[in-house]
Amino acid sequence: MKRLLTIIFVAIGAGCTVGKDYQRPKLEVEKTYGQAAATQPTSEPADAQQWWKTLNDPMLDELVARAIKSNLDLKMAAARLREARAYRQVVGADQYPQLSVGAGYTRERLSKNAAPYNAFNAPDFPWAFDVYNVGFDASWEVDLFGGTRRAVEAANADVQARTEAQRGVMLSVIGEVGRNYVELRGYQRGMAIARDNLILQQEALRLATDRQTSGLGTDLDVVRVQAQLATTQSMIPQFTSQQWQAIHRIAVLLGEDIEPVGKQLIEAKPIPVPPQTVPLGVPAELLRRRPDIRMAERQLAAASARTGMAEADLYPHLQIGGQFGLTADRGSTFFQRDSRGYSIGPSISWPIFDGGRVRGVIKVRSAQQDQAMIAYEATVRRAIAEVRDALVQFTQEHLRRQSLVEAEKANASSVTMSQQLYTKGLSDFLGVLDAQRALLLTQDAVVRSEMTESTALIAVYKALGGGWEDVLPEKPTTQASTK
């Protein structure tokens, strides 16, 4: 027993903590983004803190600021972070002694017909009396082997993980605002192109009708242009529907009413133009930038700490408790010296046999730690792939749009030339219709390519983990102390 007490007091002085101290895992990742980044500079550090400003659209800047302020998903993430911080406070309280105070008064009467008092025959025995009491209770479980310290370590890591989750929501919300805004402007541009083509086709219909009336054209020419005109008109309701759907999505992201947002965005504006190059940095920077990676690493740290918590249950638990109080049957004697009563002393418990429960819990926690490690590595690999995918789409769509712009110019010239030839009687009307149809298709493809290029840029910045810095007050998390 003496040896056990010696070990316990040595453990108290040394602050023994069982379980392995957490070390941030080192993962080998690629040094560059390879062929995906062939047309992009990778030597410069990625600068994506406020990436939406690279699109040079003041309205987009305003929408992002409003979403940061009022988005409901962000408010939910903030509430979850407050919950984690409150739970950390609950766990941390176990490190300190617990003190409570109580007071009471009772009026008691003893039974004359029940043992043991019915055997008394003393004169003036107090069968009825008052009891006054007040006292303090204190207890403290000494953290001999660090179980409580590991619990606090796990709670700290949980708070940091929730912080990263909030940042991840921020990144996603800003990205969705940008994507829907680009799509809105694309639908509005597509609607404007359809209306411009309606004017061209109405002029073609007038020309075909005039030539048919003068006997130089045919009824087939008129019917063909009428069909093409109706087809173009059918595009406008589709663009209108898509436009309002994008506005509705933006309003939800802003956490605002749809009607005022619609009034503000219904006026058509150009599609935001992306910059020509994007500094990417290197894949290793994702480990410190992307909230999902940082969250997975903090979840791994929490799992490691909980393994130590479980291991601490293999060892003795020391609790020190004490009471002090005043008890009397009369108020006049309540504060006298003889009314005092107290008790104090340590108690030790040690699970000698529990059917393997504690060791089973350790195995559970160890398996959960392994799962967290696998999830962390998978998150890193997935993040690098997302950057590669987004970058390939951005660079290739840029090349595609350049070709489509050249095709649009050629088709516009073709429309003018076909109309001139038809007017002079050197070509049939089918050439005019084909040229107009090709122009409309190419213009629509250019708009969609512009939308795709801008949304691909947004995906690049989102994959790089940009958009939460300088927005949320918390500093980037560092490895939690395990001491």
What is the CATH code for 2-111+128-464? 1.20.1600.10
- Residue-wise pLDDT tens digits, 425-444: 777 767 777 788 888 888 88
For residue 58 the two structure tokens come to 């003041």
Q: Which residue has the higher pLDDT, 125 or 197?
A: 197
Query: What b-and-e string marks burial along 189-201, b requiring 16 or more CB atoms within 10 Å of the CB?
Result: bbbebbeebbebb
CA distances 457 to 179, 379, 401, 450, Å, are 10, 21, 14, 11
Reported confidence tier of residue 244, pLDDT bands at 50, 70, 90: very high
Q: From 311, 285, 427, select the one nearest 365 (Cα to Cα).
A: 311
Is there a contact between 268 and 185 (Cβ–Cβ < 8 Å)? yes
CA distances 78 to 18, 162, 183, 301, Å, are 34, 9, 29, 21
Predicted pLDDT of residue 1: 46
- Tell me: pLDDT of 252 over 70: yes
Predicted pLDDT of residue 44: 55
For the chain, first and last CA: distance in Å? 30
**What element of type H or E holds 321?**
strand 317-328
Q: Is the pTM of this model over 0.85?
A: no
- Residue-wise pLDDT tens digits, 55-90: 899 999 999 999 999 999 999 999 999 999 998 988
Reported confidence tier of residue 313, pLDDT bands at 50, 70, 90: confident
Q: Where are the domains of the chain?
A: 2-111+128-464
CA dist 301 and 163 (Å) reads 14
List helix spans (H) across 27-146. Answer: 58-70, 72-92
16: exposed, middle or buried (Cβ count in 10 Å: 0-12, 13-18, 19+): middle
**What element of type H or E holds 244?**
helix 219-254
Predicted pLDDT of residue 387: 87
